[in-house]
Structure 1
Amino acid sequence: MPYYLVQAVYTPEAWGAMVRKPQNRADIVRPVIESMGGKLEAAFLAFGEHDAVLIIQMPDNVSAAALSMAVSAGRGVKSIKTTPLMTKAEAVKAMRKAGGLKYSAPA
């Protein structure tokens, strides 16, 4: 099953709600991911550009996009970014495949 990096930025309203009533949002999102056939591998609170960082597995790009849309529609995040990830084994396969291609740069 493909892996995805999900990075989200909470709204000020979401932060306010979490400060008033602290909660582990991974416990909220895990069943949503699992209901789509996915798996939450890891969840982190981050400092910097993004507030929440998840590593998830989803059955396909359509499912990953649907999760992103559902979270965005909930209005608890200002932005969400979903990045497909490759395992090291997949990356090596891609490198081998690239090595056999005949591509020439513009001259």
Structure 2
Amino acid sequence: MPKYLWQVTYSTTGAAGLQKEGGSARRDAVTRMVESIGGTVESCHFALGSHDMFVIGTLPDNIAAAALSIRTAAEGAARSESITLLTPEEIDEAVNRRTDYRKPGAE
């Protein structure tokens, strides 16, 4: 299954909810959501900076990732960005895959 990194940023409503229920409850809610669509959560971390939470997990496919993103955005409490993670072996396969490419301006 593809692995993803989700960068989550809370709205003021989401931050108020986090303040009310705490980090453990939020982690558990995120885990239930991911599991409900056939995925797993590997780790969940809160952070200081431009993003409030980072989650690493797996999902069956990109459609499942889109479903989670749309649902999260529709609720209005948080915005998430899904980043597909690749293993070193997948990069090995990618760099060895033949492609037909010509850089701009080259003959």
Q: Deviations over 1:80-106 (max 9, x none)?
A: 211111111111100111xx3342212
TM-align CA RMSD: 1.4
Counterpart residue identity of residue 30, structure 1: T
Query: What's the counterpart of residue 75 of structure 1?
Result: 76
Task: Please state whether the residue corresponding to 1:9 is helix, strand or coil.
Answer: strand
**Within 5 A, what are the aligned runs for 1:1-107?**
1-24=1-24, 25-77=26-78, 79-97=79-97, 100-107=98-105
| Percent of paired sites with the same residue | 33
| CA-CA distance at 1:13 after TM superposition | 2.0
* TM-score relative to the length of structure 2: 0.88
Question: Secondary structure of 1:37's match?
Answer: coil
CA distance in 2, matches of 1:10, 1:103: 41
| TM-superposed deviation, 1:6 | 0.6
Using the TM superposition, give the Cα deviation of residue 47 of structure 1 relative to its aligned residue in structure 2, in angstroms.
Answer: 1.3
Alignment-mate amino acid for residue 104 of structure 1: R
**4+ aligned runs moved over 6 Å, structure 1:** none
**Could you say what secondary structure the match of 2:34 adopts?**
helix
Output the amino acid matched with 2:42.
Answer: E
Matched residues in 1 for 2:37 and 2:2: separation?
13
TM-score normalized by structure 1?
0.88
